[in-house]
Structures are given as C-alpha cells and as structure tokens.
C-alpha cells in the first residue's frame, strides 16, 4: 500500500485532531529517517499507523491481548498503554505488515523499551515533537532531535516519566526498562 491508501484507511478510525497529529508524526518521522539514515518508507508507514488503535474499544483491545497472547504485563492497563501493542497487531493482521521493525515501532511508540532500533526511536521521538505538540519543554526536545537521536530519545523518555510522576500516574515497567537503558548509555 502507498501513503494515500494508508491515510485513507486510518482517516475514519480517528477524530480530526488525531489525524492532524498523525500527519505531523509522519512528516517528522520522514525528516528524522532522512537525517539518521533509516528507511524512509518504513518510517512513513509506521508513523501513519502508529495511533490506529487510539480509538479502539478498550474491552476489544483487552480481548486482543488475551486471545493473541500479547505481553501478559499489558493486562490491567488502559488505552494509553494498550493502543501501541494493539495497533501493531492491527498493522500485522489487517494491513498484512510483516516488517518487524515497523511493527515494533508501532508497538513501543508510547512506552519505549530497552535496546530500541533507529526506527523505533524515530517514531517515539516524532510522536512527542511533531509540530502540533505544544507542551512546555517541547522546543528543547526538538533541538535535541536536530542534534542527536539517542540524546533526543533519552530526553523524551525522561520527559514522559517525569510527566507521569508529576501527574501521579503509574509507569508501565517497559518504560522503566527504556529509561534505565537510556541512562546506562549516557554514562
Ligand atoms: Fe499513541
Ligand atoms: Fe501519537
């Protein structure tokens, strides 16, 4: 499938705000892929599909996790955590995507994980810094992304975890693994 086919497929599955966000992630991911030598077409496809499950029914997503034996740690978590792995499941089963790097980039776009590939980091970072994001500190993250992908990844996961702590939300264990991995590489 080409870009316009994927865009047409996702459009009815999300509201306008999320669609505009997705276009922003796509453009940002393409730029980062060109800058950091990743496959541009893979970045485009992963970015377009990354939030495909964002508006999926929560009970359906839980059912997908259980019936398909996805990571057992997902059970009990909400849509914010489930939409990544379930999005990857949709990409594989509905869109016949077999490229594991694309699937992992969708799967881990919210949580990160240890030992991320270049494409995974690109989608994670692009999701946070795309032009429609306006949170305090986003400019600094954009500057890091212009400088160095690993530094940007470290800054983004640190920002996510700090946000979760500040707002008294639980942290998915895989994000802690991602953070520890990033900090380990910093020293
Ligand atoms: Fe997402
Ligand atoms: Fe997103």
Write out the two tokens for 34: 């060109």
Instruction: Give the ligand whose atoms come closest to the C-alpha of residue 125.
Output: 2
Instruction: Give the ligand whose atoms come closest to the C-alpha of residue 111.
Output: 1
Per-residue DSSP letter, 56: S
Q: Using CA atoms, how far apart are residues 164 and 23, in angstroms rounded to an integer?
A: 26
Kindly give the distance from the C-alpha atom of residue 79 to the centroid of ligand 1, in angstroms, as a whole number.
Answer: 9
pLDDT digits (tens, 9 = 90+) for 134-151: 999 999 999 999 999 999
Residue range 169-174: average pLDDT?
A: 96
Kindly give the distance from the C-alpha atom of residue 121 to the centroid of ligand 2, in angstroms, as a whole number.
Answer: 13
pLDDT digits (tens, 9 = 90+) for 69-86: 999 899 899 999 999 999
Kindly give the distance from the C-alpha atom of residue 186 to the centroid of ligand 1, in angstroms, as a whole number.
Answer: 26
- Does the structure show a pLDDT above 70 at 187? no
89-to-61, 83, 93, 101, 175 alpha-carbon distances in Å: 10, 10, 6, 13, 20
pLDDT digits (tens, 9 = 90+) for 94-131: 999 999 999 999 999 999 999 999 999 999 999 999 99
Instruction: Give the ligand whose atoms come closest to the C-alpha of residue 110.
Output: 1
Residue 88, CB-side half-sphere exposure with 13 Å CA sphere: 23
Going by pLDDT thresholds of 50, 70 and 90, the confidence category of residue 185 is confident
Percent of the chain that is helix, strand, coil (3-state, to 5): 70, 0, 30
Kindly give the distance from the C-alpha atom of residue 22 to the centroid of ligand 1, in angstroms, as a whole number.
Answer: 9
Kindly give the distance from the C-alpha atom of residue 57 to the centroid of ligand 1, in angstroms, as a whole number.
Answer: 15
Kindly give the distance from the C-alpha atom of residue 50 to the centroid of ligand 1, in angstroms, as a whole number.
Answer: 6
Name the average pLDDT for the chain.
97
Going by pLDDT thresholds of 50, 70 and 90, the confidence category of residue 186 is low
């Amino acid at each position: 499938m080409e870009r316009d086919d994927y865009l047409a497929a996702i459009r009815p599955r999300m509201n306008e705000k999320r669609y505009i966000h997705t276009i922003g992630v796509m453009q940002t991911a393409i730029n980062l892929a060109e800058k950091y030598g990743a496959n541009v077409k893979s970045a485009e496809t992963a970015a377009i599909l990354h939030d495909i499950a964002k508006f999926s029914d929560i009970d359906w997503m839980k059912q997908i996790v259980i019936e398909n034996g996805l990571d057992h740690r997902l059970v009990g978590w909400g849509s914010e955590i489930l939409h990544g792995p379930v999005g990857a499941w949709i990409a594989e089963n509905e869109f016949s995507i077999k490229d594991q790097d694309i699937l992992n980039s969708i799967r881990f776009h919210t949580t990160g994980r240890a030992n991320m590939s270049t494409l995974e980091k690109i989608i994670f970072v692009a999701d946070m810094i795309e032009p429609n994001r306006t949170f305090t500190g986003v400019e600094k993250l954009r500057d890091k992304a212009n400088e160095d992908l690993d530094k940007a990844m470290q800054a983004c996961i640190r920002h996510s975890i700090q946000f979760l702590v500040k707002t008294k939300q639980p942290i998915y264990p895989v994000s802690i693994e991602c953070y520890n991995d990033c900090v380990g590489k910093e020293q």
